[in-house]
Structure 1
Amino acid sequence: MIRFFLLFVSFSFCAPAFAQQKQFTMEEAVLGMNTSLAREDLKQLNWIPGENSISEVVKTPYGGALVRRKLPQISTDTLLRLSELQKQLGSKYTLRALPPIEWIDNKEAFFALGNNYFICSAAANGWNIKEWRDLPGEAENVVLQKSTKRFAYTIGNNLYLIDAAGKTHTVTSDKEAGIVNGRSVHRNEFGIDGGIFLSPKGNYLAFYRMDERMVEDYPIVNWNVTPAAVHLTKYPFAGRTSHEVTLGVYNPSSGKTIFLDTGTPKDHYLTSVTWSPDEQFIYLAILNREQNHLWLNQYNARTGAFIKTLFEETDPKYVHPQHSLTFIPGKNDEFIWWSQRDGFMHLYRYNTRGKLLNQITKGDWVVTEIAGESEKRKELYIISTKESPLDRHIYSVNWESGKLRRLGSDPGTHSAGVSTTGDYVIDRWSNGNAPRVIDMVSTTGKWKQNLLTAKDPLAAYQRPKIENVTIKADDGTPLYGKLIYPVNFDATKKYPVIVYLYNGPNVQIISNGFPASGNLWYEYMAQHGYVIFTMEGRGSANRGMKFEQATFRKLGTVEMEDQLKGVAYLKSLPFVDASRLGVHGWSYGGFMTTSLMLRHPEVFKCGVAGGPVMDWKMYEVMYTERYMDTPQENPEGYEEANLLTKVKNLKGKLLLIHGTIDSTVVWQHSVNFVKQCVDNNVQVDYFVYPGYEHNVRGRDRVHLMQKITDYFDEYLK
């Protein structure tokens, strides 16, 4: 459900105490951070492969230009001007700015205009631009392997490959509905974000093939035509029939496809697809449908034959693979495996015989990313929560000794772009007092150069005070949150409160970034006399398995206990009006909002629930069965979480919001809830967004947040 999380929240330290007079408009509060109030940035800042050089698009008196900056002296030369590019393209295209340019190597780059790809080659008198590949207009899921210049893409449910010579191969030609090739499977769980896997040297193409003919059809109605049109999608409900996935390998030389012998049962999950560097093998993590047993298997890439299981992982609750293998640079027989086997997500070095060579990272913190490596120093560059669950910092770690070294000391949320040489890192970071900083640092820690310290785009606005809060759960676990005070705060007054929450698995909403509030709508509400409170309860991400698995088989119970601890804290504050508490959340947060309104009806005066799960039996197999087991195995847990049976408990005012073509939390969840309200003579407020899926985006989001704001104004002011 993480991919549909609506309101990403970052966390930081207190905002400056001084206040300006300007207030946010609703449009600024909702869209401003991506438009008129966007932070300064460096455009198209990228490493040039094989060099200690970066490229960047800058403004010049002659228009935009792509420049190269060599490190460490930061000397600059111009590579390509917009005017030169326009001249070479001719009148067929009119460009207002340089398109996104990606490097192939230090002599060639490419860009795309729609589905037409152009290649840029360095020449003595500048760059030569020529048309490279013109993909069909209906091509989707395009994957370009830059090193071998192969393209793969899907049209409909079939897969196509363009080889380095420009020949198009029809990889699959399935005509039957329900057979899907080259797309994401398992509803994007397990870290899956695509279905196309070109081999390292480009000689083979692996791909997911999903057979969902046995899955029940679910109608999604398009109301924008008359009469309304029904689109049937496949939706695997928890405890019911799921799809079956295999992995094919296409050989362009022979034009033939083989499939890996992944065995039975066929509704298991195929994850962590990884080619060996020499293209001899494919590695797959196979997870049983119960999600408590994983096998890391090796297969012959030419025949599809199973070779061996390298190791197994089990957990009495669930195993949750989220990453492919990372082979050690320069080696075909050593790789890095991500695992939470010791209670936290860490890195382990294995050989291809299945022997554990060493645990690379360890401690009561998690690794969130491998950002790069240095073969000569045997180092990985990682992002982790070692300093605090609220921060992200960059570290180097030796993959043999485990020696860990932090790069940079500034508190906040850091991301890393590592040069292909492994010598330098682009460190992008922010915190509540720093909108955006971009530093260039050497991986030895001996050199640093600031490239950008962005001005505060919110400096002219009336900003609220933000206070870091730590609350203890029943078992003593610290829970992190933040309290946003009304502007022009008067300690003698009583204020209404809005609790924003998500508190679902795989998501973290509290972190140290910019703005300190995490969301300008919170600040808008603070400008209009509200206290805003948000807190991360048990069940959410990046705090270790004990923290996350506390909600296993009983979603919506432990999380509510934690959120009620937050409510108790709010009620202890002399300026909080306990009779005017509101709660709001979307997706899992919508489920939590509705749960609190029904299972603890005396607490909140009103709530707004967006895209809410009402009955976990109606949610998808992969996510639900991981955290709840099946309805057949855990009927008590499903019944306790079922909100359709609890509508009689509603005392406060509740607004439900849903998109009419939501294929994640299907519209039927809230429709069924409304039907139960009618049957039980319970009043509820309801609003739909025609043509929207699980999120309301763009300018219509301003309408959404105004609707939510008006509801709180009506019942809490």
Structure 2
Amino acid sequence: MTATASFAQEKKSYTLEDVIPGGNNYFNLVPKNIPGLQWWGDVCVRTDVENIVTINVRNGKETVLVTLDEVNEALLNGEKPFQPTQELKQLRTLMGASLPWGDQKVITFRQGNYMVWYDFGQKKISNLFRLNEKAANLDFCKENGYVAYTVGSNLCIAHEGEKDLQINPDEKKADPMDIVYGQAVHRNEFGIYKGTFWSPKGNCLAFYRMDQSMVTAYPQVNTTTRIATLEPDKYPMAGMTSHKVTVGVYHIQSGKTVYLQAGDPTDRYFTNISWSPDEKSIYVIELNRDQNHSQLVRYNAETGAKEAMLFEETHPKYVEPQHPIVFLPWDSNQFIYWSQRDGFHHLYLYNKEGQLIKQLTQGDWLVQDILGFNTARKEMIIASTEISPLQTNIFSLNVKTGKRTLLGQQDGTHSARLSASGTYLIDNFTSFNVPREISILPTNGKTGINLLTATDPMKEQYNLPEITLGTIKAADGKTDLYYRLIKPVNFDPNKKYPAIIYVYGGPHAQLIHNNRFYDARGWDLYMAQKGYVMLTVDSRGSDNRGLEFENCTFRQLGVEEMKDQVEGAKFLQSLPYVNADKIGVHGWSFGGFMTTNLMLTYPEIFKVGVAGGPVIDWQYYEVMYGERYMDTPQTNPEGYKNSNLKLKAGNLKGRLEVIIGGADPTCVPQHSYTFLRACIDAGTHPDFFVYPEDGHNMMGRDRVHLHEHITRYFEDHLK
């Protein structure tokens, strides 16, 4: 019996189904969360399947606010503002409901093609309107109750009844996507993630109009049809003609649209749109094509006339605006502006005429987000890397004094949602030692209440590897680089293990954080169980370490970053338990570029590689990202030549597999196809695998298959 009990307590081995998103057991093994937490004004609520409950911010006690049964009764049998033409079917869950108005007892949700307002005070449907069945990019304005959305390349608004309103004119165009309204532009660079911007009181809607008629269409192919069909994607490559963007303003009451009179939009980027509190002005950060000169420009929202260029920034390498200006809620004459002018993303206070009042934050760390304001205390709530570049912490910042107060625990990576007045926040954090902790915290720095302290099912049930964090010196001999090292499960110091470096190395990405497993992916853990040492190094060029750390790779992508990854390989070779002759490398996207480049440039070190969705030749990459970091092929021919991996195809000595999505819109298939051609011409032999119809990343079951495939490749050729 003793032996049986001991055996029962032994921890299990895990499979890819356990550790890869899309695996059939993956979501059973992540630390418990509390989905549906949100604010109803300053009241914390939780939406669930059957109920919406309030949570007392002092003791955590829950009280039922709305039930699914009462909502369904109103949907099916209650009085409605009008009789909808389509049946309103029974609602199955309240998880997707929101409570946008803190002073009203109303929830909103989408049911089929309808937006529904349920008044739980009067227990009736208070508003109901229909959206087009092809509605996308929904943007709800709580000030006026309207929803802006796109249908194909058109922009519509709706707020009552069965009809929506298309606010852009129909235009003759050879391709339906030649002219696009209301969608994100500039290929989602510069912090652009949407194409519509409601004014503060909801009287106007600013929107992007993108003319792509002059942009070369990349010939993506759909192979699911009997005869493969052409589905082109407008894709401006580095150095080629890009699209033209203008900004329109639709006035709800008059129904008229004006366009900002910005002059010729050719080779300019219109970013970070924001409104003045009185809705009279629109602010746009405009950037030249070289991306080294930005201007904050104010326009008249009624006429579209350019009123003033408030100030400008220049940099010999690049300026990269990522955030719109934010006006102080207690002073409409002052706004916050983000800048990296001192080397780190910090906040600056300006008056509305563009005169600098003061710098609000400074230091060798960066502000990552503005969560909102506590107007009563004249404080703003920010997220930053002040404690460590490996984590995000939440602080209150007194705008007058500059004093910052830490909110929540110092440990870990935090995300937070602020209540309407800024008095409380919901803090959700994880660290290497804390699987998840969720609390409601007052923003005055005092202690709040804990809603959840989760355990980790993976740690409880499975035999996990040892994971350590450390630093090595970069190739410049002075910069500290963070690394994450994972030893094999059941590690034996007397053995020699093969090793794999998982790499990214490019801008706007960081692979190591103080969170669960130090951000190690499920595949890293799985390969440690297979008997591999796994290493990741955040090399120079990656995120959250300041401008100098990132832009040292300017005009020569793949040089300094590779040198740092080689330092990581040397570190592996110095470990007595690593087989120095069996080092592999794997990465995706920029990491695919790095993987291929490392295999071709340092074949004596890297013996096996798997490159996913790789950039092979930067002249095939899109204008905005490519030209920011490499300039154009015309102005930087040497840099493009040195990073063109087709020219190194003859250097391949180890085993390299390239994997792509067959319809990748980010790193288009031409990258990999031309690399294969170069290898054929050079007499080298990479392997190749395609996921038909997939994009830049594999999702769902394809993601599990992908990691099975990657694992097999290393097992066959590196072990």
TM-score (norm 1): 0.94
Other-structure match for 2:13: 23
Give CA-to-partner distance per residue, 1:486-543, whole Å, 9 cap, x none: 0110000000001100000111111011134521211111111111000100000110
Give CA-to-partner distance per residue, 1:409-445, whole Å, 9 cap, x none: 3411011111112111111100112111001111112
Name the CA distance, whole Å, in 2 between partners of 1:612 and 1:495: 28
Identical columns (%): 48
Name the CA distance, whole Å, in 1 between partners of 2:457 and 2:115: 36
Give CA-to-partner distance per residue, 1:172-220, whole Å, 9 cap, x none: 1234231111111000000000111121112111110111111112101
Distance 1:95 1:457, change over 3 A: farther
Other-structure match for 1:122: 120
Name the CA distance, whole Å, in 1 between partners of 2:26 and 2:330: 41
Give CA-to-partner distance per residue, 1:554-574, whole Å, 9 cap, x none: 000000000001111110000
Other-structure match for 1:78: 64
Name the CA distance, whole Å, in 2 between partners of 1:699 and 1:167: 39
Other-structure match for 1:555: 557
Are 1:607 and 1:653, in contact at CA under 8 Å, matched by a contact in 2? Answer: yes
Name the CA distance, whole Å, in 2 between partners of 1:143 and 1:432: 36
Name the CA distance, whole Å, in 2 between partners of 1:166 and 1:276: 33
Are 2:418 and 2:425, in contact at CA under 8 Å, matched by a contact in 1? Answer: yes
Q: What letter corresponds to residue 72 of structure 2 in structure 1?
A: Q
Other-structure match for 1:154: 150
Tell me, what secondary structure is at the counterpart of 2:606? Answer: coil
Name the CA distance, whole Å, in 2 between partners of 1:165 and 1:529: 62
Q: What letter corresponds to residue 534 of structure 1 in structure 2?
A: T
The CA deviation at 1:163 is 4.8
Once the two structures are overlaid, the 10-residue window that deviates more, 384-393 or 398-407, is: 398-407
Structure 2, unmatched stretches of 5+, are 1-8, 77-86
Whether 1:507 aligns to 2:509 is yes
Other-structure match for 2:677: 675
Give CA-to-partner distance per residue, 1:29-80, whole Å, 9 cap, x none: 212585221321112111111x3x210135xxxx721111233244432111
Name the CA distance, whole Å, in 1 between partners of 2:11 and 2:203: 63
Tell me, what secondary structure is at the counterpart of 2:227? Answer: coil
Other-structure match for 1:56: 46
Name the CA distance, whole Å, in 2 between partners of 1:273 and 1:609: 37
Other-structure match for 1:14: none
Other-structure match for 1:46: 38
Distance 1:566 1:350, change over 3 A: same
Are 1:99 and 1:112, in contact at CA under 8 Å, matched by a contact in 2? Answer: no
Once the two structures are overlaid, the 10-residue window that deviates more, 614-623 or 369-378, is: 369-378
Tell me, what secondary structure is at the counterpart of 1:133? Answer: strand
Whether 1:109 aligns to 2:113 is no
Name the CA distance, whole Å, in 2 between partners of 1:204 and 1:569: 58
Distance 1:362 1:337, change over 3 A: same
Tell me, what secondary structure is at the counterpart of 1:320? Answer: coil
The match for 1:591 among 580, 590, 593 is: 593
The CA deviation at 1:379 is 0.6
Name the CA distance, whole Å, in 1 between partners of 2:56 and 2:450: 14
Are 1:191 and 1:321, in contact at CA under 8 Å, matched by a contact in 2? Answer: yes
Name the CA distance, whole Å, in 2 between partners of 1:223 and 1:669: 19
**Aligned residues, how many?**
691
Q: Which runs of 4+ in 1 moved over 6 A?
A: 164-167
Tell me, what secondary structure is at the counterpart of 1:120? Answer: strand
Whether 1:36 aligns to 2:28 is yes
Name the CA distance, whole Å, in 2 between partners of 1:606 and 1:76: 55
Distance 1:207 1:105, change over 3 A: same
Once the two structures are overlaid, the 10-residue window that deviates more, 194-203 or 614-623, is: 194-203
Are 1:659 and 1:693, in contact at CA under 8 Å, matched by a contact in 2? Answer: yes
Other-structure match for 2:350: 350
Whether 1:690 aligns to 2:692 is yes
Other-structure match for 2:84: none
Other-structure match for 1:9: none
Name the CA distance, whole Å, in 1 between partners of 2:690 and 2:44: 47
Name the CA distance, whole Å, in 1 between partners of 2:521 and 2:707: 12
Other-structure match for 1:201: 201
Name the CA distance, whole Å, in 1 between partners of 2:512 and 2:639: 28
Name the CA distance, whole Å, in 2 between partners of 1:686 and 1:504: 23
Name the CA distance, whole Å, in 1 between partners of 2:437 and 2:447: 16
Other-structure match for 1:463: 464
Other-structure match for 1:482: 484
Name the CA distance, whole Å, in 1 between partners of 2:246 and 2:14: 51
> RMSD between aligned alpha carbons?
1.6
Other-structure match for 1:6: none
Once the two structures are overlaid, the 10-residue window that deviates more, 635-644 or 395-404, is: 395-404
Once the two structures are overlaid, the 10-residue window that deviates more, 159-168 or 174-183, is: 159-168
Tell me, what secondary structure is at the counterpart of 2:332? Answer: coil
Tell me, what secondary structure is at the counterpart of 1:709? Answer: helix
Q: What letter corresponds to residue 502 of structure 1 in structure 2?
A: Y
Tell me, what secondary structure is at the counterpart of 1:303? Answer: coil
Q: What letter corresponds to residue 246 of structure 1 in structure 2?
A: T
Tell me, what secondary structure is at the counterpart of 2:468? Answer: strand
Q: What letter corresponds to residue 464 of structure 1 in structure 2?
A: P
Name the CA distance, whole Å, in 1 between partners of 2:574 and 2:97: 55
Distance 1:96 1:156, change over 3 A: closer
Q: What letter corresponds to residue 562 of structure 2 in structure 1?
A: M
Report 1:169-180 matches (<5 A).
169-172=165-168, 173-176=170-173, 177=175, 178-180=178-180
Give CA-to-partner distance per residue, 1:349-380, whole Å, 9 cap, x none: 11111111111110000011111211111111
Whether 1:142 aligns to 2:138 is yes
Once the two structures are overlaid, the 10-residue window that deviates more, 196-205 or 286-295, is: 196-205
Are 1:432 and 1:515, in contact at CA under 8 Å, matched by a contact in 2? Answer: yes
Are 2:511 and 2:519, in contact at CA under 8 Å, matched by a contact in 1? Answer: no
Q: What letter corresponds to residue 408 of structure 1 in structure 2?
A: G
Once the two structures are overlaid, the 10-residue window that deviates more, 677-686 or 559-568, is: 677-686
Name the CA distance, whole Å, in 2 between partners of 1:671 and 1:705: 22
The match for 2:529 among 527, 530, 537 is: 527
Are 2:130 and 2:162, in contact at CA under 8 Å, matched by a contact in 1? Answer: no
Other-structure match for 1:570: 572
Other-structure match for 1:7: none
Give CA-to-partner distance per residue, 1:209-243, whole Å, 9 cap, x none: 11111111210100000100001221101011111
The CA deviation at 1:592 is 0.1
Other-structure match for 1:294: 294
Once the two structures are overlaid, the 10-residue window that deviates more, 253-262 or 384-393, is: 253-262
Once the two structures are overlaid, the 10-residue window that deviates more, 347-356 or 467-476, is: 467-476
Give CA-to-partner distance per residue, 1:241-268, whole Å, 9 cap, x none: 1111010111233322111111235220
TM-score (norm 2): 0.94
Q: What letter corresponds to residue 528 of structure 2 in structure 1?
A: A
Are 2:407 and 2:443, in contact at CA under 8 Å, matched by a contact in 1? Answer: yes
